[in-house]
Amino acid sequence: MVATNLRQSGSELGAKTTYQLFLEKEGLPAVQGFHIENINEVELHPWARVGGHGVYLNLEGAEGVNDCYICEIAPGQSLTPQKHMFEALVYVVSGRGATTIWQDGGRRQTFEWGEGALFSPPLNARYQHFNGQGDKPVRLLAMTNAPTVLNLYHNVDFVFNCDYRFTDRYAGEDDFFSGQARIPGEGFHDTNFIRDVRSYELPERKDRGAGGKMIMIEMSNNVMSAHISQFPVGTYKKAHRHGAGAHVIILKGEGFSMVWREGDDIKRYNWRAGSLLVPPERWFHQHFNVGGEPARYLALKPFSSRKFPGLRKQWGTSESVKLGGDQIEYDDEDPYIRQMFEAELAKRGVASQMGSVYKAAS
C-alpha cells in the first residue's frame, strides 16, 4: 500500500500538499481506509529518519487534519533523537522501555514506561525512545497534528529544525513525568504521563449512555487531548458525531461500531483489543459491546483542548440532535438498533443490560 490520493486541501487541483511531499521523502507506506483490525499486526518497514521500522496510518476519518504512525524499536536498541514543531500523543502498544527528554542546553530527564502507557513529548523538545528489553521489540503508536503544521508553514526544515524552546510548555520540571494529575474540573485530568490507560480509574459519565465511565485527558500543555471510555457488558453507547481525526483504539473487549453519514448507508466494523477506528467529521458512530467483559477504548483527538480553546468547532456530543446537538438519544434511535444488538448478544449467550440502561436514562 502506498500513500496516494490523500483527501487534503489542494489535492483536487493537482498540487501536492507539503505533508504529501513529506510522506514521499519519508519512504514509508501509508495505510488507508476506515479501520485497522489489529495495530499489533500491521506490517512495518525500515524507517531511516527515526532509525527503526514503521508505517503511517492515514485513515479516512483523519481528513488531512492529523495522522498516526506505528514504529518499532528492536530489542535492546533505541530510536534516533528527534524534535519537531508538531504535537504527538504516544501510546505504548507493546513492550517496555524509557524515553529521555531535554531542551537544547538543558539537562536530560528520563522516565520509564510499559505496555498501555500514554505520554506526550513536549513541543519542540528533543526526545529519544529506548527499548528496555533485550529479547522483544517495542511497538509504539503516535497520533500527531503533523499534517496541519506542515501544511501551515509549508517548510519541512523549519518544522524539524526550529531552535525555539517552548519553556511555557516544558521547562525541565522535576515532576513533569511523575504521573501526578491535576483536576481542573469534574471528569478532567491534566497529566503528562499515564502508566496504563487500560486500568486507569474512570468516573461515571451517564450522559453518553450505557451506564458508562469516561475521563478527559490533557497532556504536556497540548492543544490535542485524549479520553478514556468504558461501558459495561450487554450495553451500547448512544450514537453521536463530531469533528475529524479522533483515533479510537480499543483497549479491552469485543464488539462492533456502526458509522454513517446522515442519509447514507451504515458501515459496520468489528473490533477487539488492538483495533483502531477513525470516524470522519459529522459521521454518526455508535459503539456496541457484545463480549463478556466491559469494553474500554482510548480516543486521541486533535485540537480539542479545554485548557487552550479556540481551535475547534464546538460539538454537542452530549446534547440531543432534536435540541440542535449531535447525539441521538436512545428513545429517538431506530428500533432496529436495539433489536439487532440483542440478536448479536443472543448468538454469544450474553444477556442484554439495555433494559436497565433505558430505565436509568428515563
Bridge partner list, 131: 97
User: 253 and 289 in contact (C-beta within 8 Å)?
Assistant: yes
Please check the confidence at residue 362 and state whether its pLDDT lies above 60: no
Q: Which of 103, 137, 161 is the last residue of a domain?
A: 161
What's residue 14's pLDDT? 67
User: 70 and 42 in contact (C-beta within 8 Å)?
Assistant: yes
Please, what is the Cα angle at 192 between 187 and 196, to 5 degrees? 75
For residues 150 and 218, state if they share a domain.
no
SS3 label, residue 31: strand
What's residue 208's pLDDT? 73
Percent of the chain with pLDDT over 70: 94
What's residue 41's pLDDT? 97
Whether 193 maps to a domain, the answer reads no
Whether 230 maps to a domain, the answer reads yes
Please check the confidence at residue 311 and state whether its pLDDT lies above 80: no
Domain that holds residue 251: 207-361
Whether 255 maps to a domain, the answer reads yes
Whether 298 maps to a domain, the answer reads yes
For residues 213 and 147, state if they share a domain.
no
The CATH number given to whatever domain includes residue 318 is: 2.60.120.10
Q: Which of 91, 126, 161 is the last residue of a domain?
A: 161
For residues 255 and 321, state if they share a domain.
yes
Please check the confidence at residue 275 and state whether its pLDDT lies above 70: yes
For residues 92 and 150, state if they share a domain.
yes
For residues 98 and 241, state if they share a domain.
no
Residue length of the chain: 362
Percent of the chain with pLDDT over 90: 83
Cβ burial of 76 (10 Å; 0-12, 13-18, 19+) is middle
Whether 202 maps to a domain, the answer reads no
What's residue 10's pLDDT? 47
Tell me: the pLDDT tens digits for 298-310?
Answer: 999 998 888 887 7
Q: pTM score, two decimals?
A: 0.93
For residues 224 and 351, state if they share a domain.
yes
> How many domains in the chain?
2
For residues 146 and 287, state if they share a domain.
no
| pLDDT band at residue 8 under the 50/70/90 scheme | very low
For residues 151 and 218, state if they share a domain.
no
Please check the confidence at residue 256 and state whether its pLDDT lies above 60: yes
Tell me: the pLDDT tens digits for 168-227?
Answer: 999 999 999 999 999 887 889 999 999 999 999 999 987 777 789 999 999 999 999 999
Mean pLDDT of 143-166: 97
| pLDDT band at residue 358 under the 50/70/90 scheme | low
For residues 227 and 120, state if they share a domain.
no
For residues 257 and 131, state if they share a domain.
no
For residues 290 and 348, state if they share a domain.
yes
Alpha-carbon radius of gyration of the chain = 20
Whether 185 maps to a domain, the answer reads no
Whether 140 maps to a domain, the answer reads yes
For residues 30 and 157, state if they share a domain.
yes
d(CA 290, CA 184): 35
Locate cell 486500568: which residue?
199
What's residue 147's pLDDT? 98
Whether 6 maps to a domain, the answer reads no
Q: Which of 161, 195, 221 is the last residue of a domain?
A: 161
The overall average pLDDT reported for the chain is: 92
CA dihedral sign of residues 133, 100, 77, 88 = positive
**Of 26-35, 76-85, 110-119, 314-323, which gets the smallest average pLDDT?**
314-323
SS3 label, residue 348: helix
Containing 359, the helix (H) or strand (E) segment is helix 354-361
